[in-house]
Amino acid sequence: MYTIAKVIVDVPSRETDRPFDYLIPESMRDWIEVGSRVAVPFGRRTVQGFVISLEHESSLDRSRMKKIQELLDHLPPLPPDLVELAEWMSREYACSTISSLQAMIPSALKGKAERYISYAEPDERPEGESEGSVEDGTGTEGLFSLSLLQPAEESEIIEYVKAAGPVTFTHLDARYPGRGAMIKGLMKRGVLTESQAIKDKLRIKTVKTVSAAVAGEEAEEALASFTAQARRQREVLAFLLEVQIPIGMQELLTTLGVTAGTVKKLAEKGFAVIEDVEVFRDPYKDRRFKPTAPLTLTPEQQVAFDHIAGRLDSHEHGVFLLHGVTGSGKTEVYLQAIQRCISEGRQAIVLVPEISLTPQMVERFKGRFGDKVAVLHSRLSGGERYDEWRKIREGKVEVAVGARSAVFAPFPNLGLIVMDEEHETSYKQEETPKYHARNVSVRRAAQHDAVVILGSATPSLESYHAARSQASDDFAPVLLEMKMRPAGSELPVVRIVDMREELKDGNRSMFSRDLHQGIVARMERGEQTVLFLNRRGFSTFVMCRTCGYVAGCPECDISLTYHQKSNNLRCHYCGYSEPAPSVCPECGSEHIRYFGTGTQRVEGELAKLFPGIRVIRMDVDTTVEKGSHEKLLNAFREKKADVLLGTQMVAKGLDFPDVTLVGVIAADSSLNFPDFRAAEKTFQLLTQVAGRAGRHHLPGEVFVQSYTPDHYSIIHASRHDYLSFVRDELKHRRTLGYPPYCRLILVTMTHENLQILVRMAENFVSDLRGKAQQKGWFGGLDRFTSDAFDILGPIASPIPRIKNRYRFQCMVKYRGAMDAVQLVRDVSNLTLEHLKDASLQISIDVDPQMLM
Ligand code: ADP
Ligand code: ZN
Ligand code: ZN
């Protein structure tokens, strides 16, 4: 029997990021497990914690160790494999163990300590306390003496707490307003005591149900026993006997038109039982999903499926990269792989980008697997999310579909993780813990000898490179390719429109003549158009509208960002800066300005240029409300609009039969984003958007408007040529030393005072450099040696100040098996300890996706 538990406490600080030893009280020893959530005393507080291991011995003195105060759930929220995964995540992403553990449970279980007040029996009170109250146990506590000894209200409060059990301070304060001092007095005298306990944000929802408590002969007797006055009770019992199963109290009352009192009396007689039964809040309860049957696979699908099924059957860990053009039927492969997995008694997780958690995606999984599917995403209410999660934990479902964090779905016997659109940036969490769901999936699958399928029409260069070279340290997926569309439809024709020519010919509008005519033709034919505004974050680069010239950094090959205040251009990576030009350095044109167009402006233009046009705008502003996403898409499907205009949101997973035209307003705005992945993101977006057109019987047409029509990402996307794109892009990455040829760690330091921050950041970088040199890590990334390590910066962050805190960053690039993350973490901890400056914060982002 274990007597010691190592507990990670929910106290967010560097010093507490280690396990603490607690004694397990006798009564809990049968129940406590690795992964149990507990309440423990910590300093003067009670805090929530997670048990990460159970021990017989501790290096600490038992008499000085504290006891676990409470076990918070009878089923631990985390199975042991997730606890182990959390510890791995904390090392891999340089974050605290508690933040990893918290990321794995629904927010409903993020309990906080509440203060409770309870009544203390006289013998429980500290000795020597003056009492003088009715509770001295002298046996004189009649109402009379009571009112003599103390004001009535004090006794009232005592009696109330005595009867109600532990109550929160807030509750008591609300019940007896203005009696704070009196309550305090009672606490001072020890009559009332204070304790802390963890309270969950949300409770399990229950409903009252009623069922018959008698059967057979007993029931006959019971029915015969009612008097004429108890006619209604008899009716209820007869009904309960007839339905045989427990029925909701509310339903019973409305069906029979009886009162709750009648049912209660029946229960008091022992003929019926009233029980609280747990219910699951089901976000999809009012929706019917059309059941679908497996399709006969095409030869390409069959080959892919056979590979996957082989690994599933042999219970071997394996990672597959399923590269299939849009509409090649990847989803059908996922569905059949899941079917195979669950028929073998294991469970499956399907990860989709948050943005594509549209009803269409959910429908495909619910349609095939019905009630076996739980859905987890951020648009559910806290309660709904909690209940979907409980269905997984309690083994009531076999498939979990969800965004990033669904990778932590606590299945006991995981067999398969599918990651659709594996290239999506939303798989990287931007807050602590800054994990990438792809890496976590691979790790988790390895724990379970399970299979991972990474699917995409445009795989990330990291995954594709790893599959091709089979040399990655982390994973080397098996590449599976699907090049055809089973439905037989062709990929749409993509035409690049040179916007410089438009300007030359006097067209100053944001729509080219071709796109303009295309929209008009669709309106006339009753077909639909999707307009896509390629916009990521704030795009403030400077471009010449005459020749397409974009100001770029001479060192880093990314576009410079325009800073309005200082009217200069700056590189977000190396800090290079130059004054903003007033004429184009290439062609001398004055049409050079900073660029950035919003959806609202496009909407306005549309109304002006196309009289009577009906537009649905979909962006972060119009989709705040729950369900709005769905509503807008339904309206578009029902052809209540000619045009669907939007950002990234319209690019993915949507499938409308009457969309025959897709227009990309400005392909360049993502291309010139200050990010070494800009070309990759542009290629991916254009491919995705183009895949929206002509998916059914009507052929599709795509116009891509650009000021840099010769860019390889735009040309290859227009030809649906992923391989050529990869070839060109890998060349760039290799030359410049970016992933997949190295890994990155972004360190951001913030402080209220700029001068202090600059000094600290410089010290940090030189410390890091010194330590790396001691280890002999330094080697140029440009020399293609197998091991390499380099530090760029420190420079001001792209967003140099947030909430009055200045931000500086440095970027570590490395290649090889060295533990660079640990070194960065150590130096960061040393810096924080050494400086003891409370204002300084250091954040570490491993494999960053956003370089802000
Ligand atoms: P992807 O996920 O690769 O973009 P989808 O799974 O959406 O592709 O498939 C595109 C279309 O092809 C869907 O309408 C789907 O029902 C259909 N489809 C997929 N597999 C088959 C098949 N084996 N036979 C017939 N139709 C199929
Ligand atoms: Zn120019
Ligand atoms: Zn630069």
DSSP assignment of 522-552, as one string? HHHHT-EEEEE----S---BEEETTT--B-B
Q: By alpha-carbon position, which residue is closest to atom 27 of ligand 1?
A: 486
Q: 543 and 534 in contact (C-beta within 8 Å)? A: no
What is the bridge-based pairing of β-strands 788-802 and 542-544? unpaired
Q: Which ligand is nearest to the CA of 557?
A: 3
Dihedral of the alpha carbons of 625, 630, 633, 637, in degrees to the nearest 10: -140
**Bigger pLDDT: 625 or 54?**
54
Same domain, 384 and 446: yes
| Ligand 1 contact, 603 CB (< 6 A) | no
Q: What is the chain's mean pLDDT, rounded?
A: 86
Question: Among the listed ranges 21-30, 477-486, 638-647, 775-784, which one has the minimum average pLDDT value?
Answer: 775-784
Same domain, 456 and 396: yes
Q: Which atom of ligand 1 is nearest to the CA of 301?
A: 23
Residue 547 belongs to some domain of the structure? no
**Euclidean distance between CA atoms 474 and 462, whole angstroms:** 11
Point out the domain boundary residue: 278, 307, 323. Answer: 278
Same domain, 243 and 105: no
Burial class (CB within 10 angstroms; exposed 0-12, middle 13-18, buried 19+) of 776: exposed
Average pLDDT (375-399) is: 89
| Ligand 1 contact, 328 CB (< 6 A) | yes
Name which of 85, 103, 91, 90 is nearest 414 in CA terms. Answer: 85
| 80-89, 100-109, 197-206: which is most confident | 80-89
Element (H, E) at 41: strand 37-42
**Bigger pLDDT: 790 or 697?**
790
Question: Among the listed ranges 227-231, 368-372, 651-655, which one has the minimum average pLDDT value?
Answer: 651-655
**Euclidean distance between CA atoms 442 and 448, whole angstroms:** 10
Which amino acid type is present at position 133?
Answer: S
Same domain, 305 and 440: yes
Q: Band of the pLDDT at 488, cuts 50, 70, 90?
A: confident
Q: Annotated binding residues, as ranges?
A: 544, 547, 553, 556, 571, 574, 584, 587
User: What does the buried/exposed string (b/e) look like for 365-380 if buried means 16 or more CB atoms within 10 Å of the residue's CB?
Assistant: bbbbbeebbbbbbebb
Q: 638 and 667 in contact (C-beta within 8 Å)? A: no
Decide: helix, strand or coil at residue 805.
Answer: strand
Per-residue pLDDT of 317-328, as tens digits, reads 999 999 999 889
**Bigger pLDDT: 161 or 89?**
89
Please tell me the distance between residue 392's alpha carbon and the centre of ligand 1 in angstroms.
28
Looking at residue 653, what is its pLDDT? 55
Average pLDDT (745-750) is: 95
Per-residue pLDDT of 10-36, as tens digits, reads 998 888 999 999 999 998 998 899 999
Average pLDDT (615-639) is: 80
**Euclidean distance between CA atoms 635 and 180, whole angstroms:** 56
**Euclidean distance between CA atoms 733 and 726, whole angstroms:** 10
**Euclidean distance between CA atoms 683 and 715, whole angstroms:** 9
Q: By alpha-carbon position, which residue is closest to atom 10 of ligand 1?
A: 327
Q: 780 and 734 in contact (C-beta within 8 Å)? A: no
| Ligand 1 contact, 331 CB (< 6 A) | yes
Share of the chain above pLDDT 90, in %: 44
Q: 515 and 663 in contact (C-beta within 8 Å)? A: yes
The domain that holds 525 is classified in CATH as 3.40.50.300
Average pLDDT (200-217) is: 80
| Ligand 1 contact, 687 CB (< 6 A) | no
Name which of 104, 96, 97 is nearest 53 in CA terms. Answer: 97
> How does DSSP assign 656-703, residue by residue?
-TTEEEEEES-THHHHTSSSTTHHHHHHHHHHHHHTTSS-SSS--EEE
Q: Which ligand is nearest to the CA of 546?
A: 2
**Cβ < 5 A residues, ion ligand 3:** 553, 555-556, 571, 573-574, 576
Looking at residue 697, what is its pLDDT? 66
Q: 667 and 595 in contact (C-beta within 8 Å)? A: no
Per-residue pLDDT of 261-313, as tens digits, reads 899 989 888 899 888 877 777 777 767 778 889 999 999 999 999 999 999 99
Q: pTM score > 0.85 for this model?
A: no
Please tell me the distance between residue 98's alpha carbon and the centre of ligand 3 in angstroms.
37
**Bigger pLDDT: 786 or 34?**
34
In 385-535, beta strands by DSSP E = 399-402, 414-420, 451-456, 478-482, 493-498, 528-532
Which amino acid type is present at position 369?
Answer: F
- Which residues on adjacent β-strands are paired with residue 196? 115
Q: Which ligand is nearest to the CA of 674?
A: 3
Looking at residue 229, what is its pLDDT? 84
Q: Band of the pLDDT at 540, cuts 50, 70, 90?
A: low
Pick from 302, 332, 338, 695 the residue to mutate for probing ligand 1's pocket: most ligand atoms within 8 Å of its CB: 332
Please tell me the distance between residue 612's alpha carbon and the centre of ligand 3 in angstroms.
47
Same domain, 370 and 449: yes
Please tell me the distance between residue 588's alpha carbon and the centre of ligand 2 in angstroms.
6
Looking at residue 228, what is its pLDDT? 84
Please tell me the distance between residue 713's alpha carbon and the centre of ligand 2 in angstroms.
21
Dihedral of the alpha carbons of 194, 199, 203, 209, in degrees to the nearest 10: -30
- Domain with 167, as residue range(s), is 115-199
Please name the residues in contact with 806: beta carbons below 8 A apart, sequence gap of 6 or more.
750, 751, 752, 753, 754, 757, 796, 800
Question: Among the listed ranges 591-600, 743-752, 833-842, which one has the minimum average pLDDT value?
Answer: 591-600
- Which residues on adjacent β-strands are paired with residue 496? 704
**Euclidean distance between CA atoms 834 and 308, whole angstroms:** 52
Same domain, 728 and 603: yes
Same domain, 704 and 615: yes
Helices 678-690 and 722-736, axial angle in degrees (round to 10): 170
Point out the domain boundary residue: 111, 134, 153. Answer: 111
Element (H, E) at 464: helix 461-469
Could you tell me if residue 575 is left (phi over 0), alpha (psi between -120 and 50 degrees) or otherwise beta? left
Residue 585 belongs to some domain of the structure? no
The sign one gets for the Cα dihedral 763, 764, 765, 771 is positive
Dihedral of the alpha carbons of 802, 808, 814, 818, in degrees to the nearest 10: -90
Q: By alpha-carbon position, which residue is closest to atom 20 of ligand 1?
A: 329
Q: 190 and 125 in contact (C-beta within 8 Å)? A: yes
Per-residue pLDDT of 799-839, as tens digits, reads 777 777 888 999 999 988 889 999 999 999 999 988 888 88
| Ligand 1 contact, 332 CB (< 6 A) | yes
Burial class (CB within 10 angstroms; exposed 0-12, middle 13-18, buried 19+) of 610: middle
| Ligand 1 contact, 432 CB (< 6 A) | no
Residue 551 belongs to some domain of the structure? no
Whether 137 shows a pLDDT value over 70: the answer reads: no
Element (H, E) at 810: strand 805-815
Name which of 217, 327, 355, 417 is nearest 695 in CA terms. Answer: 327
Residue 169 belongs to some domain of the structure? yes
Point out the domain boundary residue: 487, 518, 548. Answer: 487
Residue 564 belongs to some domain of the structure? no
Number of domains in the chain: 6
**Euclidean distance between CA atoms 35 and 81, whole angstroms:** 9
Please tell me the distance between residue 321's alpha carbon and the centre of ligand 1 in angstroms.
18
- For the chain, the residue count is 852
Residue 577 belongs to some domain of the structure? no
Q: What is the DSSP letter of 428?
A: B
Looking at residue 535, what is its pLDDT? 60
| Ligand 1 contact, 458 CB (< 6 A) | no
Q: Say which residue the tokens 């880093």 belong to.
A: 556
Q: Band of the pLDDT at 142, cuts 50, 70, 90?
A: very low
| Ligand 1 contact, 295 CB (< 6 A) | yes
Name which of 563, 529, 546 is nearest 797 in CA terms. Answer: 563
* Helices marked H in 315-431: 330-343, 359-369, 382-393
Same domain, 359 and 409: yes
**Euclidean distance between CA atoms 29 and 51, whole angstroms:** 13
Please tell me the distance between residue 677's alpha carbon and the centre of ligand 1 in angstroms.
29
Q: 832 and 843 in contact (C-beta within 8 Å)? A: no
Decide: helix, strand or coil at residue 717.
Answer: helix
Question: Among the listed ranges 376-390, 574-588, 792-806, which one has the minimum average pLDDT value?
Answer: 792-806
Q: What is the DSSP letter of 508?
A: -
Helices 820-835 and 80-92, axial angle in degrees (round to 10): 70
Per-residue pLDDT of 146-190, as tens digits, reads 444 445 578 888 888 888 778 887 788 888 877 888 888 888 888
Per-residue pLDDT of 455-476, as tens digits, reads 999 999 999 999 998 765 567 8
Please tell me the distance between residue 769's alpha carbon and the centre of ligand 2 in angstroms.
41
Q: Which ligand is nearest to the CA of 696?
A: 1
For the record, the structure tokens of 710 come out as 């010769």
Is omega for the bond preceding 106 within 30 degrees of 0, making it cis? no
Whether 134 shows a pLDDT value over 70: the answer reads: no
Q: Which ligand is nearest to the CA of 576?
A: 3
Query: How many angstroms from the chain centroid is the CA of residue 132?
Result: 57
Please tell me the distance between residue 686's alpha carbon and the centre of ligand 1 in angstroms.
20
**Euclidean distance between CA atoms 101 and 115, whole angstroms:** 25
Residue 364 belongs to some domain of the structure? yes
Same domain, 121 and 103: no
Q: Which atom of ligand 1 is nearest to the CA of 328?
A: 3
Residue 574 belongs to some domain of the structure? no
Same domain, 607 and 659: yes
**Euclidean distance between CA atoms 719 and 572, whole angstroms:** 32
For the record, the structure tokens of 36 come out as 């149990």
| Helix-strand-coil split of the chain, %, nearest 5 | 40, 25, 40
Q: By alpha-carbon position, which residue is closest to atom 16 of ligand 1?
A: 329
Q: What is the DSSP letter of 150?
A: S
Neighbouring CB atoms inside 10 A of 244's CB total: 10
Same domain, 438 and 314: yes
| Ligand 1 contact, 471 CB (< 6 A) | no
Same domain, 340 and 458: yes
User: What does the buried/exposed string (b/e) look like for 30-67 if buried means 16 or more CB atoms within 10 Å of the residue's CB?
Assistant: eebbbbbbbbbebeeebbbbbbbebeeeeeeeeeeeee
For the record, the structure tokens of 817 come out as 């098996």
Helices 152-164 and 180-188, axial angle in degrees (round to 10): 70
